[in-house]
């Protein structure tokens, strides 16, 4: 029997869209014959994923799993919201989040990680595609951890335990009371879900975002006839306002707009009995950044009528 090489497995994956372990099994069963392996996968229903891989998957679910000082968030997309309400799909997303919490916190590592019940995460997704008949993709994974403290979580528009449309994780470093940390952590996570900050503080805002805002402020000041020697002062003042809008620690706290998030966390130290440092956050909103296909139904009908 011909030796099964990595390049053979890769070639079969590219032509069928099936999972790595399924491709290896197919090649083993067919003695390394690529064409026969394709047929083997088709008979098993595992090659269907390839035909659906080009379809836009912008629905689905985000899932979270947290335990003490660690937490993860994943996004698994499907083509329709109908599939996202399917028990099988929900179980898939929940299991993937659990695998990520177990240590597979990089996307490719998570895809290759062992899935409960056998095979890899990638193979489990391919099997679900073949069963359900829709394209599905594991789009991203994020993880937070602190040495001492907690990772709090919040799900907006939750559809089931650990599953929803917006997932937020917040890492708080502290030796304080766990219950008090969980309370302020959840409040901050809800705040993040509502305001979608672009960074933890002013220094965390991407440089290109700051420069773009700086250019806009300068142009507005210049257009209003302000002299060049005062434009820089106007820009710096405007940037301070901008950071209060987009930097988490500077934002007005949604639960008490009279104080900033940083002030709210500082005040929570009394209940916690120790200093608290808000180290990081993750916010996954389902489908953000994915270009959804749009169709003109009237135009489609007219086109069909013209062909009739």
Q: What is the mean pLDDT of residues 198-212?
A: 90
Name the β-bridge partners of 277. 173
Residues 6+ apart with CB under 8 A from 57: 77, 78, 79, 134, 135, 136, 137, 290
14: tokens are 């590219």
Overall average pLDDT of the 140-146 stretch: 96
Give the integer Cα–Cα distance in Å for 40 and 22. Answer: 10
pLDDT at position 300 over 50: no
- pTM (2 d.p.): 0.74
* pLDDT computed for residue 54 by the predictor: 46
Query: Contact 34/7 with Cβ under 8 angstroms?
Result: no
- The per-residue pLDDT for range 36-77, each reduced to its tens digit, is 888 787 666 665 544 444 454 568 999 999 999 999 999 999
**Structural domains of the chain in order of their starting residue, each with its CATH number:** 6-52 (1.10.8.10), 59-202+247-285 (3.30.479.20), 206-245 (1.10.286)
Q: Residue 147's pLDDT band (boundaries 50, 70, 90)?
A: very high
Least confident of 11-15, 25-29, 138-142, 276-280: 11-15
Quote the pLDDT of residue 288: 85
pLDDT per residue as tens digits for the range 161-194: 999 999 999 999 999 999 999 999 999 999 999 9
């Amino acid at each position: 029997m011909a030796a099964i090489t990595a390049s053979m497995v890769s070639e079969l994956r590219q032509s069928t869209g099936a999972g790595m372990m399924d491709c290896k099994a197919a090649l083993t069963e067919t003695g390394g014959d690529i064409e026969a392996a394709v047929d083997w996968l088709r008979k098993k229903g595992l090659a269907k994923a390839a035909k659906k891989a080009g379809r836009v998957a912008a629905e689905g679910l985000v899932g979270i799993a947290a335990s003490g000082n660690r937490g993860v968030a994943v996004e698994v997309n499907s083509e329709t919201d109908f599939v996202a309400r399917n028990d099988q799909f929900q179980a898939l997303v929940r299991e993937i989040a659990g695998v990520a919490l177990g240590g597979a916190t990089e996307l490719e590592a998570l895809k290759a990680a062992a899935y409960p019940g056998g095979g890899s995460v990638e193979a489990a997704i391919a099997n679900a595609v073949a069963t359900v008949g829709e394209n599905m993709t594991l789009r991203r994974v994020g993880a937070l951890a602190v040495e001492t403290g907690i990772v709090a979580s919040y799900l907006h528009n939750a559809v089931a335990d650990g599953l929803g449309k917006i997932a937020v994780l917040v890492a708080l470093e502290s030796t304080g009371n766990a219950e008090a940390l969980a309370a302020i952590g959840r409040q901050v996570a809800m705040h993040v879900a509502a305001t979608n900050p672009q960074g933890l503080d002013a220094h965390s805002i991407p440089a290109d975002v700051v420069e773009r805002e700086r250019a806009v402020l300068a142009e507005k000041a210049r257009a209003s006839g302000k002299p060049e020697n005062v434009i820089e002062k106007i820009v710096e003042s405007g940037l301070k306002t901008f950071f209060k809008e987009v930097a988490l620690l500077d934002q007005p706290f949604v639960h008490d707009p009279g104080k900033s998030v940083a002030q709210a966390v500082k005040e929570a130290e009394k209940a916690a009995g120790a200093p608290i440092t808000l180290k990081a956050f993750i916010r996954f909103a389902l489908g953000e950044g994915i270009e959804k296909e749009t169709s003109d139904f009237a135009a489609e009908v007219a086109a069909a009528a013209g062909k009739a």
